[in-house]
Amino acid sequence: MTDSLFSGTSRSAAPTHADGDAEHLPTASKRKESPGGWAAPVAAFEPDQFGSAANQTATNTEPARPGTRTYDETIQSYARIATTCAAIGAIIAAAVLIVWAAGIDSLVNVHTQLWIMHANTALAILLSAIAVLLIGNQDNRRREPGFFRPRTRLDLLIGTLGAAAATIGVLTIFEYAAGIKLGIDHALASVGPLGDENLIRGPSTVSTLMMTAIGAAIALSAWYGERIWAWVQMIAASTLLMSLMVLIADVYDTESIRNLSSPLGATVTSAVGFGLISIAVLLVRPLYGWMNLIAGEGNGSEATRRILPVVLFGIPVLGYVRLAAQNSGLIGTEVGLTLFAGATIVMTTVVVLWSAARINRHEDLQLISEAERDRARALVDGLVANSDAVISVQDPEGRFALINDAFERRYGVDREHAIGNRSYDVLDPERAFLLERLRNDVLARRNAAVEEMPADEAIDGKDEETYLTQLFPIVDDEGNLIGSGSIATDISERKRHEQLLQRLNDDLRHETDRAHDAIDELESFAHTVSHDLRSPLRAIDGFARIVAEDCQDVLEDRDRRYLDLVLQGAAEMGSLIDDLLEFSRVGRTELNVARLDMTKIAKEVNDHLSHERQGRDVRVTVKELPPAVADQRFIAAVFQNLLANAYKYSRKREVAEIEIGALEPDDGAPVTYYVRDNGVGFDMQYADKLFAPFERLHRTEDYDGSGVGLATVQRILRRHGGKIWAESKVDVGTTMFFRLD
């Protein structure tokens, strides 16, 4: 017998051989891949490669089973029926053995011999039943088939049990054929009180044949494993047929046909027992051998499952009806035969038609779902093929099973060449190494989700491109690893932008740093300069003052006036330095913001300016001012500057009027504060020059000042998010407005 003859039919057989025949694929993976799932536009996906590889690596995992759960359950229910039948058979055999051993007179005698099986038969049935139970309890794990080399101790035990049953049968046959009394048939029976061997006959020929056949079948299955199951099932089917015939004969006519010496002669119990064992053997491995035709998933199997029971049981029933009718004299033999034939035709035709209808409906549904699947697959295929992403799938051994167009373009490889080959054969060594390293990493962690690989440190580097590669394991429904996928996306553009952005950022930071450095330098320069300028200024001022005092009486008027001018110049320079220092400080000092009582600040500042009022008639009005949120020192400086100006430019008025107030808009807009004087005013066409540093609208000899004050004020207000502006009319007065936002 050859492998392919029998195992080749096992479309959904679980175990597979290392020789990797495509037909031995685990069903799940095969069903997933064999329809050419990745096929048409993408790549020639070759399921056998992938599948056999999966088999090799999945050695320690459950073989894949047919996908649908209900079908799975069906298969399991077959196995359950098998073990139940075996168990019942074992119980019957055991009971019979007890009866024999106890030698219960009323049960075992010449008359009951037709009913109660022989002790040897019972022993053979018991041994076979235990063997089948052991097979059923064996896990389904695939094993390497060995030649005369049982794989496990359990196999050895099963084989021994089967062989023992067969041996009993063979010895009995030999005894009958050779006419030699080996005493085997009495070995057990003689133990009981019915020791008279003349009264007890041996097991019937049919029972002997059956025990030999079934025992041998079981023993063979243990040795050869799955490959032999077609034959095992054939034998079991034969014994089942024999059992049925014995039973049918018994039902039809107990008197004339059934005789222990006739070809069909056997006890009812042994027929039942062998029948049960046969069914058990047939069903215990429903996916093996040709039982797969019945238990399988296909439509043919479904039809078989519908028709077979009717044929097996319906025809005998019809036969019995015919016989009963004939025996009762209701109908004659010819009529009976005719009716029997007609009824058989009708019954089988109805069953066949019914099953055909069911199958057709199934196929319709199947066609629909297949069309849907094809459509879904076409969508996915289109997606993969047209994707700009570089996509590849490798089997667990690392052979490419799928690559898309983008992959071909990127690596300059040919699909025909790539499929079925490993990275090192397809890609340049450096890339292959990086890819494999990452792949091994992902596979080692198996269910680790998605691995991100920045392509610039991985498979990139050759050209200017950067790819982001994701690698991930692919597993089937059962969790078996069936491959790994890789999707690499071109992020070169993004990377370039990032780099550009980074560079711009760096530049900007550099510039900012430089600007800060420059400002700091300027600040410290201004500070140093103002301090260093002060030192000689102190000398000029101090010594001039001493001379002025000491030589008061000696000096000519003109000289004294010159000395006064020296002192005045020194004073001006001092205040200029102060103003500059203040102006530069406004730009850098941190704002210390608080809620301020503006009225109070304005009044305090005005009080400090008392020297401005000396010898003058000045009327200062400070109105109620709304509070503001700002830095107190700076706001005081604002009032200080504005008020000083108001005093200064109203100096020539007989009665100077200064007013500090605020305009509060109804709509919630910010408050506008103002300082108004009735001084000389200025021409509004020069208003834009008012706030520029060192710009002056009046001659210094008329009105002293550095021209920095209002620039400082503007700087302060801008830092507060506010602003300042002015309204003025020559010889009428000026109003300075400011706002803090």
3-state secondary structure 691-707: CCCCCCCCCCCCCCCCC
Residue 541 within binding range of other proteins, rule CB under 8 A: yes
For residue 585, state whether it binds other proteins (rule: CB under 8 A): yes
DSSP 533-556: HHHHHHHHHHHHHHHHHHTTTTS-
Q: Minimum distance between the CB of residue 531 and other proteins, rounded to whole angstroms?
A: 5
Q: For residues 57 and 575, which CB has a smaller minimum distance to other proteins in the complex?
A: 575
Minimum CB distance to other proteins smaller for 531 or for 561: 531
Closer to other proteins by Cβ: residue 493 or 532: 532
Beta bridge partners of 467: 490
Does the footprint of other proteins cover residue 608 (CB under 8 A)? no
- If one asks whether residue 525 binds other proteins (CB under 8 A), the answer comes out as no
Least spacing, CB of residue 689 vs other proteins, in Å: 28
| Of 612, 584, 586, 607, residue with least CA distance to 704 | 612
Q: Which of residues 622-661 bind other proteins (CB under 8 A)?
A: 633
Contact call for residue 542 and other proteins (CB under 8 A): yes
In order, the DSSP letters of 200-240 are -----HHHHHHHHHHHHHHHHHHHHGGGGHHHHHHHHHHHH
Member of 462, 503, 531, 729 binding other proteins (CB under 8 A): 531
**Minimum CB distance to other proteins smaller for 55 or for 706:** 706
Per CB under 8 A, the segment of 155-163, 482-490, 503-511, 575-583 that binds other proteins is 575-583
Q: How far apart are CA 269 and CA 96, in angstroms?
A: 9
The token pair at 269 is 């119990």
Concatenated DSSP letters of 31-75: HHHTTTTTTTTT----HHHHHHHHHHHGGGSPPP--S-HHHHHHH
590 interacts with other proteins by CB under 8 A: no
Query: Which strand (E) or helix (H) includes residue 11?
Result: none
Binding segment for other proteins (CB under 8 A), chosen from 82-90, 151-159, 557-565, 576-584, is: 576-584
User: Could you give the C-alpha distances from 18 to 481, 529, 639, in angstroms and in order?
Assistant: 18, 93, 98
Q: Does 571 contact other proteins by CB under 8 A? A: no
Name which position in 538, 600, 619, 623 contacts other proteins (CB under 8 A).
538
CA 88, CA 128: separation in Å to the nearest integer? 12
Question: Which one-letter DSSP state was computed for residue 427?
Answer: S
Q: How far is the CB of 715 from other proteins (least distance, A)?
A: 17
Distance between CA 736 and CA 645 in Å, rounded?
Answer: 10
Nearer to other proteins by C-beta: 194 or 609? 609
Pairing relationship of beta strands 593-596 and 481-490 according to DSSP bridges: unpaired
Contact call for residue 48 and other proteins (CB under 8 A): no
* Shortest distance (Å) from residue 607 CB to other proteins: 18
Strands 723-729, 451-454: pairing is unpaired
CB under 8 A: which stretch of 258-266, 387-395, 532-540, 719-727 binds other proteins? 532-540
CB of 702 to other proteins, least distance (A): 28
Rank residues 127 and 635 by Cβ distance to other proteins and give the closer one. 635
Of 585 and 719, the one with the shorter C-beta distance to other proteins is: 585
How far apart are the C-alpha atoms of 682 and 609, rounded to whole Å?
Answer: 23
Residue appearing with tokens 């200080």 = 640
| Residue 718 engages other proteins in binding (rule: CB under 8 A) | no
Answer for which of 199, 448, 500, 539 binds other proteins (CB under 8 A) is: 539
- Integer Rg of the chain from CA: 56
Place of tokens 């199934």: 362
Residue partners of 282: CB distance under 8 A and separation at least 6: 82, 233, 236, 237, 240, 291
Among 367, 448, 546, 565, binds other proteins (CB under 8 A): 546
Which residues, 6+ apart, have CB-to-CB distance to 317 below 8 Å? none
Binding of other proteins at residue 573 (CB under 8 A)?
A: no
**Among residues 88, 127, 132, 166, which one has the least CA distance to residue 282?**
132
Q: Interface with other proteins by CB under 8 A: which range of 11-19, 311-319, 431-439, 533-541?
A: 533-541
To the nearest whole angstrom, how small is the minimum distance from the Cβ of residue 651 to other proteins? Answer: 25
Which CB, 330 or 593, lies closer to other proteins? 593
The conformation of residue 285, written as its DSSP 8-state character, comes to: S
Query: Does residue 522 belong to the site contacting other proteins (CB under 8 A)?
Result: no
Question: CA–CA separation, 385 vs 145, rounded Å?
Answer: 42
Please report whether residue 534 would count as binding other proteins according to CB under 8 A: yes
Binding status of residue 535 toward other proteins by CB under 8 A? yes
Q: Which two tokens stand for residue 414?
A: 């040919």
| Segment near other proteins (CB under 8 A); pick from 165-173, 277-285, 331-339, 529-537 | 529-537
Quick one: 496 or 633, whose CB is closer to other proteins? 633
Among 543, 562, 686, 694, binds other proteins (CB under 8 A): 543
Closest to other proteins by CB, 417 or 633: 633
Answer yes or no: are the C-beta atoms of 313 and 347 closer than 8 Å: no
User: How many of the chain's residues bind other proteins (CB under 8 A)?
Assistant: 16
Residue numbers 317-356 binding other proteins by CB under 8 A: none
**Residues of this chain that bind other proteins (CB under 8 A):** 530-531, 534-536, 538-539, 541-543, 546, 577-578, 581, 585, 633
